[in-house]
Amino acid sequence: MAVEEPRYTVLVSEPPFEVRRYAAFTVAQTQISGDFDAASRNGFRRIASYIFGDNVQAEVGAQRKISMTAPVTVAPDSEGWRVHFVMPSAESLQTLPKPLNPQVQLRTVVEHEVASVRFNGFTTQASVAEQTERLKAWAKTKNLKLNPTAQVARYDDPFTLPWNRRNEILIDLLP
């Protein structure tokens, strides 16, 4: 079963590295404190609750389920960690139901460019740090200017065998 991902155009491809231009998309996000693993779990549960019905559709006053998409991303922010799910492309801030949990926010991510590196396995702090450094080193050889904050993007469910998992580090490019 195919899971929708945000639309992007590949500008540079040197596997496992890419530079991409993403079209604008909508996300449901939450801020979580704690370490990376706990924030990932708790943030995932909070947003999953929203897409599985912890919401209200304004015009009908009813809850509704939202289709699952990929990836789920985790990035450091001023409050600890920001976890977000990309919403289906058919949805917008105007059509999505309102989260019942005030800790879940909806926002639009504008068109942007990122550098990415793809890897398999578990997203441990060590593997994330290693892949982030690989991506930064590759970007330096391309004279790319990177935002200092890296995102961890996970595309598979937790039951996928580690060697079959698709993970990425995504870093926004600076102008």
In a domain? residue 2: no
CATH of the domain at 30: 3.20.80.10
In a domain? residue 110: yes
Query: What does each of the 175 residues of the chain score in pLDDT, given as a tens digit?
Result: 468 999 999 999 999 999 999 999 999 999 999 999 999 999 999 999 999 999 998 667 788 899 989 999 999 998 899 999 999 999 999 999 999 999 999 999 999 999 999 999 999 989 999 999 999 999 999 999 999 999 999 999 888 999 999 999 999 999 8
Between CA 128 and CA 74 the distance in angstroms is 11
How many beta carbons lie within 10 A of that of residue 158, not counting itself? 8
Between CA 147 and CA 168 the distance in angstroms is 16
* CA-CA-CA-CA torsion sign (93, 94, 95, 101): positive
Between CA 134 and CA 39 the distance in angstroms is 24
In a domain? residue 1: no
The answer to whether 16 and 131 have CB atoms below 8 angstroms apart is no
In a domain? residue 3: no
Domain that holds residue 88: 8-173
Position 74, amino acid: V
* Total count of domains within the chain: 1
